[in-house]
Amino acid sequence: MATQKHVDVVTVGAGWTAGILAQQFTAANMDVISIEAGPQRWATEDFEHNHDSLRYTLRKAMMFDLNRETWTWRPNPNKPSLPIRQFGSFHPGQGIGGAGIHWAAQTWRFYPSDFNYRTHHIERYGEEKLPEGNMIQDWPLDYADLEPYYTQSEYDIGISGQVGNLGGTIIEGGNPFEGPHQRPYPLPPLVRSKAADMFSAASREMGYHPFPQPAAILSEAYRDISGRERSGCIYCGFCTRFGCEVDAKASANASHIPLALETGRYHIRTNCKVIRVESNKDGLATGVTYIDQTTGEEHFQPADIVILSAYTLSNVRLLLLSSSDSHPNGLGNDQDRVGKNYTYQLIGGPVTGLFKGQRFNSYMGNSCLQDLIHDFNADNFDHSDLDFIGGASISCGGGEKEPVTSTLNMPVFDMEKDGSAGDEDGDGNQGTRPRPPIASEVGSLAGAGTQWGQAWKDNLRENWDSVTGIGIQGESLPYTDQFLDLDPTYTDNMGQPLLRLTYDFHDNDYKLYRYIAQRCKEIMDVMNPDHVVTTTELSPYNVHSYQSTHCTGGAIMGDSPENSVTNRYGQVWDTPNLFVTGAALYPQNPGMNPTGTLLALAYWQADAIKNQYLREPNHLITY
């Protein structure tokens, strides 16, 4: 095994958080190497002609190679697990930039109450309101701690949006429920879609507070932290699961990574798979062992600081795989906390409306063209008389209705002609029938399956661009029976155990969905469609239909080794020179995309490592 030159910092992965850390550390004259399992890729060379739905949307060209590594899943500890053989529920990426290349770029700040979730709900409703078997806990930091870092990341990469709370003053047109911002977003919102305008008009009529989606997509040209002026969005419609051909969509390899590389102190080794973090008899990390996947050779990269900055599931798996004499159960796992508090995201489309004769041009842009309301997100509404806690964002008007998969996902509207087992009242709507999971994201024809042949063609021809839906994104809570661990049966192509996911929805999820779905139906009714398809009940979780890549938790931060894997800086309790970044740190997942917060956390962590940890290396930061 070859031993490489010693460096100050080695990161596992070269995505969003690794890019931010590399830029911050190299600016402080530190030497950094990222070990990246995927290939190198850059906008101008790789994304100029990438409008290939077959390659990117169906065949997942930017995602993990499931022939080498996948995950197993079971709904609860009493069931057997099986490997995930094709992409479905989530889509982790590989390559320089990570999932930040093909993300949708919805960029949020979590609510102040999200950070003290347990305390907030107990103080307002009593502990008996918390669901049975929960593992809910407060974060070890609060919104005020992260606010300066939210602002820094928003200006470094360029966020488009309308602030709703500027220094405590509520601003018309923004989100009135959000925590206070120091500064407005650097750019105005993206162009709004026609469906978003209709949704907002209906929401205002009902007394709600619609606002445009905050987005890490430039609404106009902007000079970011790299000093380079990037183009504004051209609304091409090939965004999520695609790289941005004009760099309007923010990513680490559009900003931070080039800046770090220019210093000469940062290097990336691509197509190299880290298989273990090594540790010595004192319990400290000494570096990482990796396989060069082009040659099959094994290498050791020594470093003073090791940072796990890959995808959530990869970070957790690597902690568990890195057992040693000093850490027999894996790193961070001396108190059996690794894998706990695994959470996800409650995603659904409760209602779809047909507006005959309307043309929404919904093939343009991406989901960031939507408007939303947060009147029913988090604890922005009174739960005293409700049988659940938590909430969800409600949105409408996203674009990116690309041709290949959207044709598999058409709702059936002409019930008199085509029939439907779900048309309970004969009014041409599908009533309360729970629709089967839509599997179009994996290229399957196992969608609703209620219309074929000429009827399907006529529906597609007449209604494809006259349909819009209202969607939800809800929070996910941790429970004792949902967790991550190593599978005892299945292994990857190198013989290492796969990561096993034990997860399913709980009663709180079903009740939350049922309530929010009704709010969605009420808004759609005010929008006045010609026909409506509703899905009023949540189906059990499955891994074969895409929902969200927002896998969170498993290496959570906390105020004690007894309830967490890391401290408030992502520093592993039992291995002080090992840090974890990203959404694996979240004790539970709010009803918003996790990326905006993990970017702010990366800046927060870089600041702590430079200005606190390096004063006393190999010791826990205690302030």
Which residues form the catalytic set? Answer: 550
Which strand (E) or helix (H) includes residue 20?
A: helix 16-26
Going by DSSP bridges, is the β-strand pair 272-279/285-292 parallel, antiparallel, or unpaired?
antiparallel
Residues in Cβ contact with 461 at an 8 Å cutoff, skipping those fewer than 6 apart:
none
Neighbours of 74 (CB within 10 A): 17
Query: Which DSSP state fits 62?
Result: T
Q: What is the DSSP string of 290-315?
A: EEETTT--EEEEEEEEEEE-S-HHHH
- Tokens standing for residue 343: 């959470």
Neighbours of 594 (CB within 10 A): 24
533 and 429 Cβ atoms separated by less than 8 Å: yes
592 and 391 Cβ atoms separated by less than 8 Å: no
Q: Count how many residues are written for the chain.
A: 623
Separation of first and last alpha carbons in the chain: 40
Residues in Cβ contact with 543 at an 8 Å cutoff, skipping those fewer than 6 apart:
73, 84, 88, 89, 501
Q: Which long-range contacts (CB under 8 A, 24 or more apart) does 258-264 make?
A: 258/226, 258/228, 259/23, 259/225, 259/226, 259/227, 260/19, 260/22, 260/23, 260/25, 260/26, 260/32, 263/26, 263/27
- Tokens standing for residue 589: 């997942």
Question: How far is the CA of 435 from the CAs of 118, 227, 432, 447, 507, in angstroms?
Answer: 34, 49, 9, 9, 19
Question: Which of 11, 17, 13, 12 minimizes the C-alpha distance to 599?
Answer: 17
- Tokens standing for residue 490: 């299945």
